Amino acid sequence: MLYITKRVHFSASHRLFNPTFNDQKNDEIYDKCNNFYGHGHNYILEVTVRGIPNPQTGYVIDLKKLKRILNDTIVDKVDHKHLNFDVDFLKGVITSVENLAVIFWKILKEEIKEAELYKIKLYETENSYVEYFGEPVEVNRF
């Protein structure tokens, strides 16, 4: 097996809060990430697929096609958006980097057919990132 990764970027704003918590609890848990008007990041999304290289092409997957899938199904929907308000597939979701990774996985799992989706790595800042390998995780919608 070989593991091949494509990296894309998007810039978005978000606000962390749970509508079933009161203000004090939201503040305690999310602190400055709970700022009412939101804040934002330059996110970096790395998507890894795995497979055997096709002996005729040397490719596990055509990275141009993978990039197109990432742009069409994720980047174009979230880039220069507010993740809490502007994105259909995030409606009602707490937009933590963990939940984003799980939701992105579900979307990409449907779209990537040429090779097996293996990992999503999502950087919120250069000092904080999450990795997800598709084990079932439930994301609440409020």
Site track 45-74 with a second copy (rule: CB under 8 A), x = hit: ---x---xx-xxxxxx-xxx----------
* Binder among 39, 68, 106, 109 for a second copy (CB under 8 A): 39
What are 18's two structure tokens? 């749970």
CA 73, CA 69: separation in Å to the nearest integer?
6
Beta strands 39-51 and 2-14, pairing class: antiparallel
Q: Are 14 and 40 in contact (CB under 8 A)?
A: yes
- Residue number, 73 or 138, with CB nearest to a second copy: 138
Q: Are 92 and 141 in contact (CB under 8 A)?
A: yes
CB of 50 to a second copy, least distance (A): 9
* Site for a second copy, residues 98 to 117, rule: CB under 8 A: 98-99, 101-102
Output the DSSP codes for 91-117. Answer: TT----HHHHHHHHHHHHHHH--SSEE
Active site residues: 33, 80, 124
Q: Name the residues that contact a second copy, by CB under 8 A.
A: 1-9, 11-14, 16, 18, 20-21, 29, 31-33, 35, 37-42, 48, 52-53, 55-60, 62-64, 79-82, 84-86, 93-99, 101-102, 125-133, 135, 137-140
